[in-house]
Amino acid sequence: MSNRMPLSPTPRSTPTREKGRARTDRAELDAVLDAGLVCHLGVVLDGTPVVVPTVYGRDGDTLFLHGSSGAGNLRAALAGDISVAVTLVDGLVYARSAMHFSMNYRSAVVRGRAVELSDADERMHALRVIVEHSAPGAWDRVRPPSKKELAATMVLALDLTEASVKVRAGGPRDDSGDIETGGVWAGVLPVRQMWEAPISSADLEAGVEVPRDVLDRVATTLNTA
Amino acid sequence: MSNRMPLSPTPRSTPTREKGRARTDRAELDAVLDAGLVCHLGVVLDGTPVVVPTVYGRDGDTLFLHGSSGAGNLRAALAGDISVAVTLVDGLVYARSAMHFSMNYRSAVVRGRAVELSDADERMHALRVIVEHSAPGAWDRVRPPSKKELAATMVLALDLTEASVKVRAGGPRDDSGDIETGGVWAGVLPVRQMWEAPISSADLEAGVEVPRDVLDRVATTLNTA
C-alpha cells in the first residue's frame, strides 16, 4: 500500500480528540470500508444536515454510492461536500466508573465532494462494485441493469483522500483510584455480527440451489476485528 | 403510545422515496432507537457535513448525546440543526437482477436542534440514560461521574418529534420477467448481531464475578427484528 495516499492530509480530517485511536495507515481505511455492509451518508439538505444509511462499494481510492435519480438526498449530495461514515462495533466496554464506559469499534469517516458518473462503462463498473461489495460472486449470475433501470439510477463517486480512521480495542481504561478501590467488575462484552442460514424466496421455482458463495457465508462473521 | 406525537410532522422528515418502507407509528421509532447500540450523528462543521458514530440514550421523547466539551463535532452540533441516524441491518436480499439487490433493515433518522443541558440533575439523568442504554443495570454498581468529569462533559438533548422510520423486511421484489426466466437463486441471507462471552479486564482483581446482567446477555441477539 506504499503507493497509496496517506490519510488525513487536511486539518479537518485530522482527529483532534482521542488521538490514540486515530490510525494513519491507508490499509486500515480500506479494511474498515471493506468490512462494512452499510455506510451512513451525511448531506446538507435545505441548509441542515441529514444522515441516511445506504449501501456502497470501494474500488481502490474511490467509494461508490448509488440511488434513485429522484432521491433528494443524492441530489443534495452533489450540491456540496458530503461525509460518509462506516462503523463496525466490536464490543461494549464495561468500566469501574460511568464515564469510562466505552465501545470497541473500527470507524472510517470520509469527507469530500462526490461526482456523478455519466460514462456508461464507469457507471456499470461502479454498480458491479456496489453489488459485489455486499454479495461477492453474485453479479455474474444475475440479470445486469437494463437501460430503463440505468436511466433511473444515479451513481456517485467519492475520492477517499480525505478520510480518518479510528479504532478502539481492548479493555477499560479505568482511573487508578477506581482500580485500587476495587470490587467492581470491568471488562469487555464482545459483539459479533454473523450470517445465518439463507431463506429462499417464496416465489423461487423448485430445483434452484443456494449458490456456493451464499452457502459459504453461513455462520461466518461479517466483519472480524 | 396514543399520547405520543406522530412521526414526520414536517415535509422534510416525510420520506418521498420507497414510501412502502416508511412507518408512522411512534412505537416503531422507539423500538429502533432502543435496539441500536451506536448512532451516526451528522453536523455541519466549517460549512460541510461530517458524520461520526457515537453512543446515545433515549428517555421518552428525548434523545441524549454526550461527549468531551472540547469536541468540535459537539460544539458544531449546537450551532445548527443536527441529524441522528440509527440503523439495524437484518439481512442481505439476493435478487434475480442486480438492481433489485437490497438490505433488510430498520432505520430511524431524526432531525432537529439539540440543546445543551446545564442543570446538574438533568445532566446526571441523561448520562445515566446513555450508560444504561448500552449497559442496562450497570450504572448503580459503578462510580458515578465526578465533578471534574462532569465539567469536561457536554450533554445534548434532541427532541424526537421530527423523525422518520423505515423498515424493509422479507424477500426480493423481483420483476415478473426475471421470475419467469428463472434459474437464478433469490432469497435472504439474514444477519444477526450477538453478544459473546465477557472478557474480564486484565487488571481486575481476583474474586470479582461477572455481574448477572452481563452474563444474561451472552449468546443473545442485540437487536432482534
Cross-chain residue pair B194–A198, CB shorter than 8 Å: no
- CA–CA min distance A1, chain B (Å): 26
Domain that holds residue B20: 11-187
Number of domains in chain A: 1
| Distance in Å, alpha carbon of A35 to nearest chain B alpha carbon | 14
Q: Between residues A12 and B83, which one has the greater pLDDT?
A: B83
Residue A82 near chain B (CB below 8 Å): yes
pLDDT digits (tens, 9 = 90+) for B22-35: 666 889 999 999 99
Is the minimum CB–CB distance between B133 and chain A shorter than 8 Å? no
Residue A132, amino acid: E
> Which residues touch B216 (CB under 8 Å, ≥6 apart)?
none
Residue A185: predicted pLDDT? 98
Full-model pTM = 0.91
- Return d(Cα B138, Cα B141) in angstroms, integer: 6
Chain A CA closest to residue B68:
A17
Position B2 in a domain: no
Sole residue written with cell 458515578: B144
In the predicted model, residues of chain A with pLDDT beneath 50 are 1-9
**Domain annotation covers residue A212:** no
The CATH number assigned to the domain holding A185 equals 2.30.110.10
The arithmetic mean of pLDDT across residues B206-218, rounded, is 96
Rounded percentage of chain B residues whose pLDDT exceeds 70: 88
Task: Flag the least confident range among A136-145, A146-155, B10-19, B153-162.
Answer: B10-19
Q: Are B98 and A144 in contact (CB under 8 A)?
A: yes
Q: Is B78 on the interface with A (CB under 8 A)?
A: no
3-class DSSP state of B144? coil
DSSP annotation of B143 reads: B
| Residues, chain B | 225
Q: Which of A24-28, B96-100, B218-222 has the lowest mean pLDDT?
A: A24-28
Interatomic CA distance for residues A158 and A108, integer angstroms: 14
Cell of B22: 416508511
Strand partners, B82: B112
Q: Is residue B205 part of a domain?
A: no
- In chain A, which residues have their Cβ closer than 8 Å to the Cβ of B208? 182-185
Q: What does the DSSP assignment read for A53-94? A: EE--EEETTEEEEEEETT-HHHHHHHSS-EEEEEEEEEEEEE
Q: List CB contacts (< 8 A) between A211 and chain B.
A: 185
For residue B188, what pLDDT is reported? 98
Q: Let me know if residue A155 belongs to a domain.
A: yes
Q: Give residue A8's pLDDT.
A: 42
Residues in chain A: 225
Q: How far apart are the first and last CA of chain A?
A: 20
The Cα of A187 is separated from the nearest Cα of chain B by a number of Å equal to 4
Residue B203 located in a structural domain: no
Give the 3-state secondary structure of residue B9. Answer: coil
What confidence tens digit (pLDDT) does each residue in A121-140 have? 999 999 999 999 999 999 99
The answer to whether B185 and A188 have CB atoms below 8 angstroms apart is no
pLDDT of residue A22: 65
In a domain, B212, yes or no: no
